[in-house]
Structure 1
């Protein structure tokens, strides 16, 4: 267990189960405690605020997403194929676990300072939830840089002056993918694209391909 405390982990486990089945709006402190089989005051021993517990639950989501992305990316070879695999894994996770995805990117959690000040709980201090987004973003930046290097070696890339830095391109691409995930969850994307399937899967493949082409240039044959 992450902190070697079974009760703390049981509370997080209960929250993860709750958000996966009932969505992020279900994560009341009392309900999490009830699901964990403890008194409603017990969470305060490990989480000084409700937000600190929600942040711990959301960190599990980032860990799960990272594993999913790693497995997808490791299954292919080229940087461009890995970028496509990362995009598909990200969108797949957002669709299948939207309650958790919604929690992971909640503004009030991402923007808050640490919710677990040292000395006030039995758990060690935790970083801001926002820091949990950094490994995924760094991975995206690295793949974009590799894709550009590969294109340069082939003589198919554009000049350095004509493109934004990899981090800027990564931010633009991530913004685009996040927008797709949210519009898809609200069924707006399916409506706009006249998708035949409820999840919009029949329209997602060309849409993601178009997004990658827009930010990275057309893929080499």
Structure 2
């Protein structure tokens, strides 16, 4: 084969695409990084596997080795998003001392994650474009929701305690209500309904506590 699947094109290399240089073993991470930048610039509807490969400085066929197709790469991006969200929720949860404090802390962490990682956040919820049955995605999403559900219930959450298909089971109404409130606020900010990005952060700072008060009743 004249061109190895993972061959870097020096004229369209990683540095030119704004992605850190990588060794052969880092190809998967480099492709996810390129996909993240692409979705942030163009939105998920403007995503293409070929463009992600170009930005990562590899041949168009290279992503297929790791992800199969565009759906596979977007699923990996969504999974990374849920992993980061879960970590943010866990950190917020560990700093709180009671149920109400845990809900408020996780609510703040959720909105902050959405504003800081809009590409991942957008991709996480575009179920038509990702494989929601992927085991890694299911586990990461289940952990994030499990943390919120435990906070609402006032119980302790242990990583790994949820079955892989837990997010397909009957949802907890109170946890769904909490999720809906913070998700809606995050979505309004990302869609520009609260003004430009910096103004939106200021607006959220002023309204987040009153919104979170609704979650703890």
How does the TM-score come out when normalised to structure 2? Answer: 0.70
Matched, 1:182 2:187: yes
CA gap 1:22/1:75 in 2 versus in 1, 3 angstroms: farther
Shift of 1:166: 8.9
Structure 2's unaligned 5+ residue stretches are: 1-23, 156-169
In structure 1, distance between residues paired with 2:171 and 2:43 = 34
Cross-structure match for 1:62: 82
Summarize deviations over 1:82-109 as a string: whole Å, max 9, x none.
2111100110111122222101111214
CA gap 1:113/1:140 in 2 versus in 1, 3 angstroms: closer
Cross-structure match for 1:48: 68
CA gap 1:104/1:166 in 2 versus in 1, 3 angstroms: closer
Cross-structure match for 1:161: none
Pairwise CA RMSD: 2.9
Are the equivalent residues in 2 in contact too, given 1:20–1:99 (CA < 8 A)? yes
Greater Cα offset, 83-92 or 8-17: 8-17
In structure 2, distance between residues paired with 1:21 and 1:82 = 34
Shift of 1:43: 1.1
Summarize deviations over 1:116-167 as a string: whole Å, max 9, x none.
xxxxxxxxxx4273543211111111111118xxxxxxxxxxxxxxxxx992
Number of residue pairs matched by the alignment: 179
In structure 1, distance between residues paired with 2:151 and 2:132 = 30
Are the equivalent residues in 2 in contact too, given 1:109–1:129 (CA < 8 A)? no
Structure with greater Cα Rg: 1
Structure 1's unaligned 5+ residue stretches are: 115-125, 148-164
The DSSP-based 3-state class of the residue aligned with 1:144 is helix
Summarize deviations over 1:148-188 as a string: whole Å, max 9, x none.
xxxxxxxxxxxxxxxxx992100111012111111121222
Cross-structure match for 1:102: 122
Matched, 1:139 2:147: yes
How does the TM-score come out when normalised to structure 1? Answer: 0.69
Consecutive aligned runs of 4 or more in structure 1 exceeding 4 Å deviation: 20-23
Cross-structure match for 2:160: none
In structure 1, distance between residues paired with 2:125 and 2:61 = 27
